[in-house]
Copies of this chain bind each other. A is one copy, B any other.
C-alpha cells in the first residue's frame, strides 16, 4: 500500500479535491459544487465519496491524512468553519471532526489565503525562499505570511490580513469590515469596478461604454482590458489602484523585509499591467531596504495554489501526527 494524502480546497462556488502520493505525484483532482440546497453535510458527503472513489480507482493507496483550505472565519482549534460570506449555511460546520471520524486520519484546517501562500511557497513562485508574503488580489485582498517554511498565524490566527491594513486613514472610504481606508476598500477589484461605474454613470467618455451593454456589468476585468487599450478613464482608475497596492506592498517590505512578495488573484492576472507599476512605485515608498531586494513576483499556480496548499497542510497533518506517534 502506498501512502496517499488528500487536499480539499473550499471556495465560494466550487470545491477542489486532490490526492497525491508521498512522492508528490498527483493521483487525481475532482471538482464539486459548494452551493447545494441539501446543505454542507451533503456537500461533505460528496467530497468524502470523491476521495473514496479515487482511492478505489487507484487500488493500492492508503489515505494517511487530509488538509483543508477554506474561506474564513474559522475556529482552527475546534476545526470549525464559521459562516464565511457566500457560505452562510456553513456556520460552525465541524469539517475537521467529520472528516477525522470518517477517514480515521489526522485532518488539519487553515484559511484559503494561508493555504494558497503555502502552495506557492512549496510548489510555486515562493520555492527556494525562507520567508515570503503571499497576496491574493481579486475582488478583495487576502494574504498569508510564511516564515521559516511555516504559516505565521499570530494571535487568534489573525496574521497576514494585508487587505485590511489601513492605507488611507483620513479618507471616507469605508470597508465592509467596519474600518476606514483598508487597502482592500481602496484598491481591490470591487473598488475598481465601482469607481468605473460611478464615473461612467456621470457620462464620462470611455471605451468601456462600447465594451458592456450596461454600466452595472463593468468589472475590474473590464477596466483592466480598457486600460490595456489605453482608455484614459480606465488607465486612471487602474493606475490609482496599482499605486495604493504598491503602498501596501511597500509597508510589507518595510515591516517584514520578506525575500519575496508573491502576488496572485485576478489583479495579478493582468500581468505586466500590474507588475510594471508595482515594481516602479513600491520602491518610492520603501527607504529602509536596498531597492534591488524589493522582489515582487507573480504567483505561478493560478487556481491550483489553494489545492496545492491543502496538500501541503495534509503533509503537515501527517508529519505532526507522526511526531506524536513517535514520541
Residues of A that sit less than 8 Å from B by CB: 131, 145, 147, 152-162, 164-170, 175, 177-180, 182, 243-244, 247, 250-259, 284-290, 293, 295
Contacts of A152 in B (CB 8 A): 147, 256
6 contacts between A and B (CB under 8 A): A156-B257, A158-B253, A161-B255, A166-B247, A168-B170, A177-B287
CB-based contact B287/A154 at 8 Å = no
CB-based contact B164/A257 at 8 Å = no
CA–CA, A178 to B147, complex, Å? 29
CA–CA, A239 to B160, complex, Å? 29
CB distance from A287 to the nearest CB of B (A): 4
Contacts of A255 in B (CB 8 A): 145, 159-162, 165, 251-252, 255-256
Q: A164-B287, A169-B168 are in contact. Are A155 and B259 (CB under 8 A)?
A: yes
B164, B288, B295: the one contacting A254 at CB < 8 Å is B164
Contacts of A244 in B (CB 8 A): 169
CB-based contact A166/B258 at 8 Å = no
CB distance from A250 to the nearest CB of B (A): 6
CB distance from A312 to the nearest CB of B (A): 20
CB-based contact A287/B165 at 8 Å = no
A165, A180, A244, A288, most chain B CB atoms within 10 A: A288
Contacts of A169 in B (CB 8 A): 167-168, 243-244, 247, 285
CA–CA, A159 to B131, complex, Å? 12
Residue of B nearest to A180 (CB): B285
Contacts of A259 in B (CB 8 A): 155
Contacts of A179 in B (CB 8 A): 250, 284-287
Residue of B nearest to A73 (CB): B288
CB distance from A144 to the nearest CB of B (A): 11
Residue of B nearest to A255 (CB): B165
Contacts of A131 in B (CB 8 A): 154-155
Contacts of A295 in B (CB 8 A): 155
